Amino acid sequence: MARLDGKIAIVTGGAQGQGAAISRGFVAEGARVVIADVADEPGKALADELGEAAAFAHHDVSSEESWTDVVALAETTFGPVNVLVNNAGILVFSSIDDMSLADYERLISINQTGTWLGMRAVVPTMKRNGGGSIVNASSVEGLGGMPTLSAYVASKWAIRGMTKAIAMECGARGIRANSVHPGMIDTGMTRVHGGDAAMEYGATKVALKRVGSPTDMVGVYTFLASDESSFVTGAEIAVDGGATATHAFGG
């Protein structure tokens, strides 16, 4: 028996990077997956690759209406949603004095509000159908600060806190919520900010002396989505090569 047999999952940002790896991993373990993303071409291609166990939905996580539509699509295509992976997010580097309010609010609307809307959208169906697992992508920047990332850090700390609140609020109804905190992962989103040089520098800063790959994330998400983690909720799990295993003196 596969580890995710019977699971029906929505994976936001599921068309590329970590989301695509998670979507592939879930299907390989028996889940049926809605790949939810604004990136239509790679999303449709991935759904075609994965076959009948996957469907693509164009989805803007910052939109209430889009969340209503994607949950309805999942339920009509596969059945009641019992796993949500809130993976979609954007990364913007800017000093606080250079960042506009519009850019700050856009990042918050996707990373933070999008995560909150996702949880709100699936909790009713999870309550009606015996529970479920919500896995929210935070970051090592949800565990500590970093210069030029004030907006991103704000969103990722918020995700960490919201996850714990929902774990407490919904645990009695069989709904678990946990946050995952990746370090530097080699994806298009991170490579656009420095390419190979950024990857090489990042590798020097962690215990394992390498950056992560999207496939390094799959096992943790699979565990948290599965019944193997039935007594795990409100947790924060760093998948960071050891970035948070130490501390800094003076920055």
Go through the domains of the chain in sequence order and give each one's CATH number. 8-239 (3.40.50.720)
Tell me the whole-structure pTM to 2 decimals.
0.95
> Residue 206: what are its φ and ψ, rounded to 5°?
-125, 160
Nearest Cα neighbor of 64 from 10, 119, 108 is: 119
Number of other residues whose CB lies within 10 A of the CB of residue 154: 18
Q: Residue 9 is inside which H or E element, if any? A: strand 8-12
The DSSP line for 76-143 is: HHT-S--EEEE-------B-TTT--HHHHHHHHIIIIIHHHHHHHHHHHHHHHTT-EEEEEE--GGGT
Please say whether the beta carbons of 183 and 238 come within 8 A.
Answer: yes
Which residues of the chain fall below pLDDT 70? 193-194, 249-251
Structure tokens at 190: 């991170």
Structure tokens at 10: 């929505």
For residue range 64-119, what is the model confidence (pLDDT) as tens digits?
Answer: 999 999 999 999 999 999 999 999 999 999 999 999 999 999 999 999 999 999 99
List active site positions. 152
- 3-state SS, residue 54: strand
CB contact burial 192-217 (16+ within 10 A = b; e otherwise):
eeeeeebbeebbeebeeebbbebebb
Sheet holding 32-37, edge to edge: 54-58, 32-37, 8-12, 83-86, 132-137, 175-182, 236-239
Which of 53, 51, 41 shows the shortest CA–CA distance to 16? 41
Instruction: Count CA atoms within 13 Å of residue 76 on its CB side.
Output: 7
Q: Given this model, what pLDDT does residue 251 score? A: 52
CB 224, CB 178: distance < 8 Å: yes
Alpha carbons 147 and 24: distance in angstroms, whole number: 34
Q: For position 247, what pLDDT does the model report?
A: 82
